[in-house]
């Protein structure tokens, strides 16, 4: 049921349009027969003293007279009783915005929590009045969700329509983008990034551009978003309801088994610096659009920032768990001291190479730009000069036992 | 409202690993048997851990797109789905007979029907035969042909070989192929020596794997001698030591696989209407000219 509100029906002028304070124009809405039939259907289930509430008014049944069976309760004091179906229809036509708003959320969007919350959030349905929302929808409401740009609009029958595209394509005309209407087409869009590489993490900030879902209804826009960023709406909804079930690093690693069971040996309760490194490596906004909500354990927050994403991350993901398994192996090694000589520029260069790889900047470094430490020619020179035939830096074997 | 959730392994490395899962989900969606069909993965998203919270229905059927009963179906999936009080004895299985267990998933507070894996279902036998039909392009393939059902095999889990033997035995009993053998990658009898196991000049090799990946695209073709190096590719059929080998690739990519998923859900009580017949019809191999 739509939340009852005490507001009076919006003031309208003769042609049914109204103007809000910030001068958005409220569109004229025709009452579709589907919406009217849905009201009649809802009324048939009501007891005589119950009311179906809309923003600013309510309707009910007057069981005493079958030919004049309906009641209209404005928020003011001149309730009207004894309305025939035709009278009720006329009254609701005059209030078509509120009726279509009820119909959209109660009958089209439906009760499923995440979908309903998401679609109401898009147009601020829990905050703004119908009048303000319809005016904003007429102009187009834009929302960001990860790298998505979702635009909500309204038809003259009060139906919601949504466009979904990449935020980077915001200024591109629809004709220049590949159009889709099936939410499941998004599975192909999310599979590879713009350079054709597989995206194992759907929330990596590498969503490719060039596509648009130009005209979606409420149910399919939700499916489209959930296909691009799976379970993000579900977890965001839980967070808003205060029910996000966060599983911190320790409990998540403790339940690992099989080949991942080894991670527990990295996690002996001796500090959490290593988990800071994991979060810095994997959970940064540059790598994942989720906002990390998990910490080391219930009592111990990590020192690194969780990011600014709109949707929460409730436990270390499978990419993090797999990487942690590898790091568990690597971190079980004891350090050794190696001795070889580098010029200061060579040390700087090694640092620059690590930075460039870690930040994914290799492709940005120009072929002939030898000022860049991670330039390929410069790196090949370093290898030619400092590596022996077995690939050992400075000619020093990695394992001292390999020294001849 | 009736929901189907197909859970599969997925991959961090191979973009095609989830393709069969999506394809079968699409087939089932088109059949109209369920109000919604969702997919969840171990290595992709939504993860097993979160898939149930994306599900709307009140009658939820979870079908693992896995070959055998074992570590994933008995430990990982029930744990990650948070099936309260799960105990593998609920299935009372001999390694082949797991059908379903009804449990409450803790995080969504709803009952789900957790089904046995597709690979051990009796209908899977038909998919293996169908795979032989589709790779040869002959809906009547059998006479003059041998069939090799190939599994990973592992000493760590005896159930892994059980599924292979079960289907090989069933196909042999039907008498359609001249010879049927169960072969393995990691235990005897090994797939490497395939021609030695058959007298037939033509042998269809069907790997009992869900998705094409390292094992079915690299290991098996090279081990069997279809090619020296998988990057060079191979013909179907390819003659090895005088035996023409019709290599089918992963059985899980066969469209009829959708039928087994439906059968699992039906065994757990799902109302499928005429979806089974429709799926069998839409996935059949058309007779050639």
pLDDT at A76: 67
B157 reaches A (C-beta below 8 A): no
Question: Are the CB atoms for B209 and B251 separated by under 8 Å?
Answer: yes
Query: B63 is written with which tokens?
Result: 């079908």
Smallest Cβ–Cβ distance between B15 and the set A198, A201, A314 belongs to: A198
pLDDT at A78: 72
For residue B135, cis peptide bond before it (omega within 30 degrees of 0): no
Which chain A residue has its CA at the smallest distance from B22's CA?
A: A187
CA angle A146, A149, A155 (to 5 degrees): 140
Helix (H/G/I), strand (E/B), else coil: A35: helix
pLDDT at A138: 96
In chain B, what residues touch A201 (CB-CB under 8 Å)?
Answer: 45
Identify the band that residue B152 occupies on the pLDDT scale cut at 50, 70 and 90.
confident
Which of A69-73, A99-103, A156-160 shows the lowest mean pLDDT across its residues? A69-73
Print the SS3 string covering chain B: CEEEEEEECCCCCCCCCCHHHHHHHHHHHHHCCCCEEEEEECCCCCEHHHHHHHCCCCEEEEEECCCCCCHHHHHHHHHHCCECCCCHHHCCCCCCCCCEEEEEECCCCEEEEEECCHHHCCCHHHHHHHHHHHHHCCCCCCCCEEEEEEECCCCCCCHHHHHHHHHHHHHHHHCCCCEEEEEECCCCCEHHHHHHHCCCCEEEEEECCCCCCHHHHHHHHHHHCCCCCHHHCCCCCEEECCEEEEECCCHHHCCCHHHHHHHHHHHCCCCCCCHHHHHHHHCCCCCCC
Helix (H/G/I), strand (E/B), else coil: A81: strand
B107 reaches A (C-beta below 8 A): yes
Q: What percent of chain A has pLDDT over 70?
A: 92
CA distance A295 to A42: 47
pLDDT at residue A15 greater than cutoff 60: no
In chain A, what residues touch B26 (CB-CB under 8 Å)?
Answer: 184
pLDDT at B285: 84
Question: pLDDT tens-digit profile of A311-348?
Answer: 999 999 999 999 999 999 999 999 999 999 999 999 99
β-strand partners of B6? B39, B63
Nearest chain A CA: its distance from B186 CA (Å): 18
Nearest chain B CA: its distance from A311 CA (Å): 14
Smallest Cβ–Cβ distance between B53 and the set A191, A234, A322 belongs to: A234
A200 reaches B (C-beta below 8 A): yes
Q: What is the mean pLDDT of residues A114-133?
A: 96
Question: pLDDT tens-digit profile of A216-263?
Answer: 999 999 999 999 999 999 999 999 999 999 999 999 999 999 999 999
- Chain A interface, mutation test: which of B54, B78, B107, most A Cβ atoms within 10 Å? B54
Nearest chain A CA: its distance from B51 CA (Å): 7
CA distance B26 to B17: 16
Which residue shows structure tokens 């053998």?
Answer: B181
Which of A58-62, A369-373, B263-267, B276-280 shows the lowest mean pLDDT across its residues? A58-62
Radius of gyration in angstroms for the set of CA atoms belonging to chain B, rounded to a whole number: 19
pLDDT at A75: 67
Helix (H/G/I), strand (E/B), else coil: A199: coil
Question: pLDDT tens-digit profile of A31-77?
Answer: 999 999 999 999 988 888 899 999 889 999 876 666 668 999 886 66
A248 reaches B (C-beta below 8 A): no
- Average pLDDT, rounded, for chain B: 94
The Cα-based distances of B181 to A23, B97, B147 in angstroms read 78, 22, 6
CA distance A275 to A233: 27
**Helix or strand holding residue A214 (H, E):** strand A211-216
CA distance A9 to A129: 10
pLDDT at residue A381 greater than cutoff 70: yes
pLDDT at residue A179 greater than cutoff 50: yes
User: Does A318 contact B54 at a Cβ distance shorter than 8 Å?
Assistant: no
- Average pLDDT, rounded, for chain A: 91
B71 reaches A (C-beta below 8 A): yes
pLDDT at A74: 84
Smallest Cβ–Cβ distance between A318 and the set B13, B42, B107 belongs to: B42
A126 reaches B (C-beta below 8 A): no
For residue A382, cis peptide bond before it (omega within 30 degrees of 0): no
Check the CA dihedral B135-B139-B145-B148 and report its sign: positive
The Cα-based distances of A182 to A214, A224, B40 in angstroms read 11, 8, 20
pLDDT at A236: 98
Which of B59-63, B72-76, B210-214 shows the lowest mean pLDDT across its residues? B210-214
Question: pLDDT tens-digit profile of B4-44?
Answer: 999 999 999 999 999 999 999 999 999 999 999 999 999 99
pLDDT at A1: 39
Q: What percent of chain B has pLDDT over 70?
A: 98
pLDDT at A21: 52
Which chain B residue has its CA at the smallest distance from A116's CA?
A: B56
- Residue A192 is classified by DSSP as B
Q: What is the DSSP string of A268-320?
A: SSS-SHHHHHHHHHHSSTTT--SEE---SBTTB--SS-----SSEE-S--HHH
pLDDT at A5: 39
pLDDT at A301: 97
pLDDT at A19: 47
The b/e string for B194-209 (b: 16+ C-beta within 10 A; e otherwise) is bbebbebebbbbbbbb
Query: A300 is written with which tokens?
Result: 């111990």
A184 reaches B (C-beta below 8 A): yes
Query: B203 is written with which tokens?
Result: 């042998």
Identify the band that residue A82 occupies on the pLDDT scale cut at 50, 70 and 90.
confident
Smallest Cβ–Cβ distance between A226 and the set B47, B54, B71 belongs to: B54
Question: Are the CB atoms for A177 and A183 separated by under 8 Å?
Answer: no
Nearest chain B CA: its distance from A212 CA (Å): 21
Helix (H/G/I), strand (E/B), else coil: A142: strand
A232 reaches B (C-beta below 8 A): no
User: Does A257 contact B51 at a Cβ distance shorter than 8 Å?
Assistant: no
CA distance A291 to A307: 5
B158 reaches A (C-beta below 8 A): no
User: Does B15 contact A191 at a Cβ distance shorter than 8 Å?
Assistant: yes
User: Does B14 contact A315 at a Cβ distance shorter than 8 Å?
Assistant: no
Q: What is the mean pLDDT of residues A123-145?
A: 95
Query: A152 is written with which tokens?
Result: 């909500």
User: Does A198 contact B76 at a Cβ distance shorter than 8 Å?
Assistant: no
Smallest Cβ–Cβ distance between A317 and the set B11, B47, B79 belongs to: B47
For residue A279, cis peptide bond before it (omega within 30 degrees of 0): no
Which of A206-220, B31-45, B274-288 shows the lowest mean pLDDT across its residues? B274-288
Nearest chain A CA: its distance from B288 CA (Å): 32
B282 reaches A (C-beta below 8 A): no
End-to-end Cα, chain A, rounded Å:
81
Q: Which of A146, A175, A181 is nearest to A163 (CA)?
A: A181
Which chain B residue has its CA at the smallest distance from A317's CA?
A: B47
Which residue shows structure tokens 């069969």?
Answer: B20
Question: Are the CB atoms for A225 and A233 separated by under 8 Å?
Answer: yes
User: Does B12 contact A257 at a Cβ distance shorter than 8 Å?
Assistant: no
Smallest Cβ–Cβ distance between B12 and the set A192, A234, A322 belongs to: A322
pLDDT at A55: 87
ipTM of the complex: 0.93
Question: pLDDT tens-digit profile of B231-252?
Answer: 999 999 999 999 999 999 999 9
Q: What is the mean pLDDT of residues A1-18?
A: 41
Question: pLDDT tens-digit profile of A256-298?
Answer: 999 999 999 998 777 899 999 999 999 999 999 999 999 999 9
Cβ-based neighbours of A205, under 8 Å, separated by 6 or more: A146, A147, A285, A286, A287, A288, A289
């Amino acid at each position: 049921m739509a939340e009852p509100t005490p507001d009076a029906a919006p003031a309208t002028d003769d042609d049914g349009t109204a103007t809000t304070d910030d001068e958005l124009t409220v569109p004229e809405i025709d009452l579709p027969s589907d919406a009217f039939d849905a009201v009649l259907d809802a009324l048939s289930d009501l007891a005589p003293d119950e009311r179906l509430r809309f923003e600013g008014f309510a309707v009910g049944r007057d069981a005493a007279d079958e030919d004049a069976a309906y009641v209209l309760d404005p928020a003011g004091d001149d309730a009207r009783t004894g309305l025939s179906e035709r009278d009720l229809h006329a009254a609701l036509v005059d209030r078509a915005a509120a009726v279509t708003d009820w119909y959209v959320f109660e009958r089209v969007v439906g009760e499923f929590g995440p979908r309903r919350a998401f679609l109401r959030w898009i147009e601020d349905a829990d905050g703004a009045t119908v009048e303000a929302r319809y005016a904003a929808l007429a102009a187009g409401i834009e929302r960001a969700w990860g790298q998505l740009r979702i635009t909500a609009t309204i038809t003259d029958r009060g139906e919601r329509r949504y466009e979904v595209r990449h935020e980077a394509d915001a200024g591109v005309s629809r004709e220049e983008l590949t159009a889709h209407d099936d939410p499941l087409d998004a599975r192909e869009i999310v599979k590879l990034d713009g350079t054709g590489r597989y995206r194992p993490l759907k929330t990596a900030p590498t969503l490719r551009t060039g596509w648009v879902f130009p005209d979606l209804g409420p149910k399919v826009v939700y499916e489209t978003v959930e296909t691009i960023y799976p379970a993000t709406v579900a977890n965001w909804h839980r967070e808003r309801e205060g029910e996000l079930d966060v599983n911190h690093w320790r409990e998540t690693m403790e339940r690992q088994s099989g080949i991942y069971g080894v991670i527990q040996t990295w996690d002996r309760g001796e500090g959490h610096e290593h988990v800071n490194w994991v979060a810095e490596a994997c959970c940064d906004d540059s790598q994942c659009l989720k906002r990390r909500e998990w910490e080391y354990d219930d009592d111990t927050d990590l020192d690194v920032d969780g990011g600014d994403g709109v949707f929460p991350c409730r436990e270390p993901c499978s990419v993090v768990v797999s990487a942690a398994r590898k790091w568990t192996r690597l971190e079980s090694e004891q350090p050794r001291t190696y001795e070889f000589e580098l010029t200061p520029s060579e040390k700087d260069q090694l640092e620059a190479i690590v930075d460039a790889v870690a930040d994914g900047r290799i492709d940005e470094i120009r072929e002939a730009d030898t000022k860049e430490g991670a330039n390929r020619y410069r790196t090949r020179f370093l290898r030619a000069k400092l590596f022996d035939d077995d690939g050992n830096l400075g000619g020093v074997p990695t394992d001292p036992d390999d020294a001849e | 409202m009736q929901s189907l959730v197909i859970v599969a392994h997925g991959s961090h490395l191979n973009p095609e690993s989830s393709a069969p899962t999506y394809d079968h989900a699409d087939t089932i969606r088109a059949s109209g048997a369920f109000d919604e069909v969702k997919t969840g993965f171990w290595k992709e998203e939504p993860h097993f851990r979160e898939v149930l919270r994306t599900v709307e229905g009140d009658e939820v059927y979870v079908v693992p797109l896995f070959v055998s009963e074992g570590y994933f179906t008995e430990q990982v999936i029930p744990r990650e789905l948070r099936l309260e009080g799960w105990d593998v004895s609920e299935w009372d299985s001999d390694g082949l007979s797991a059908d379903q267990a009804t449990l409450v998933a803790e995080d969504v507070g709803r009952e789900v029907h957790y089904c046995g894996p597709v690979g051990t279902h009796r209908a899977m036998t038909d998919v293996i035969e169908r795979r032989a039909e589709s790779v040869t392009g002959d809906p009547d393939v059998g006479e003059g042909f041998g069939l090799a059902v190939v599994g990973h095999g592992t000493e760590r889990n005896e159930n892994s070989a059980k599924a292979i033997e079960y289907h090989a035995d069933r196909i042999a009993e039907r008498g359609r192929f001249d010879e049927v053998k169960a072969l393995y990658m990691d235990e005897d009898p090994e797939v490497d020596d395939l021609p030695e196991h058959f007298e037939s000049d033509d042998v269809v090799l069907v790997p009992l794997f869900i998705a094409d990946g390292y094992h079915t695209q690299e290991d098996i073709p090279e081990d069997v001698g279809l090619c020296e190096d998988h990057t060079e590719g191979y013909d179907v059929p390819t003659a090895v030591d005088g035996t023409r080998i019709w290599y089918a690739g992963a059985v899980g990519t066969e469209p009829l696989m959708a039928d087994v998923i439906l059968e699992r859900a039906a065994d757990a009580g799902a109302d499928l209407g005429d979806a089974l017949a429709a799926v069998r019809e839409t996935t059949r191999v058309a007779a050639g000219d």
